[in-house]
Amino acid sequence: MRREQPGYNVVMVRVEQVLDSWRAIRQDTAAAVEDFPAGELDYRPTAEVSTFREIARHVLDSSDGLIGLLLSGDEDLTAGNFRERLKTHLRALPADAGATELANALRESVAQRTEQLAAETPEFFAGMMTRFDGQRVTRLEMVQFVKEHELTHRAQLFMYLRLKGMVPATTRRRLAKQAAK
C-alpha cells in the first residue's frame, strides 16, 4: 500500500518553531532599539552605512511588507511594481519615530504577523511562490527568509551597540546564566 506523502518540507521544519524563533529574535531587536541612546538613533559608524534608526526601521518595514504580501496571496514578488505593492503593508509610523515608538511597533508587528501566520494551514505553507530574486520557495521558506533577514540586521544593530560600549541583550543573558552557576 502506498502512503500519501505530506506536502513539500512540511515535516522537516515546523511552523510553530519558526514563528517562536522569530518572536524571540524580534524581542532582542526591539531591546536593542530600547537600549541604544535615544538621542543617537541617527548614529552611523561611517557615512556609507545606514543609521541605527534606518536599520531598525528596515527590519520593521521589510518584515511587515514581505509577510503582508505573502498573506495577501501574492505569489510572484518579481512581478511589476514590487515596492508599491510592499508599501501597502507598512505601518503608519513617522520616519523620525523615537526608540519607544519603534520598539513598540517592532513588537506589535511580530505579534500580529505571527498570529496571522499561525492561523494558516499546512497547505498554505507548502505552497510555492517566487521570491523577489526569482528563486522559487515554499511560503514557509519565505517566512524563514524573513527571519534570517532580520537576524542579519539585528547583528548590525548589535555591532552599533558595541561601538557605543553597550552589551546586547543576548550577551547579557548569557553572562547572567554563567554568573548564576
> What pTM was estimated for this model as a whole?
0.89
Residues 44-69: tens digit of each pLDDT = 999 999 999 999 999 999 999 999 99
Residues 164-181: tens digit of each pLDDT = 999 998 888 888 888 888
Residue type, 138: T
Domain ranges of the chain: 15-39+47-180
Instruction: Kindly tell me the sign of the dihedral angle through the C-alpha atoms of 90, 91, 93, 96.
Output: negative
Query: In this structure, are residues 43 and 160 in contact, taking their beta carbons and an 8 Å threshold?
Result: yes
**What is the C-alpha separation between 76 and 70, in angstroms, rounded?**
9
**Structural class in CATH, domain 15-39+47-180:** mainly alpha
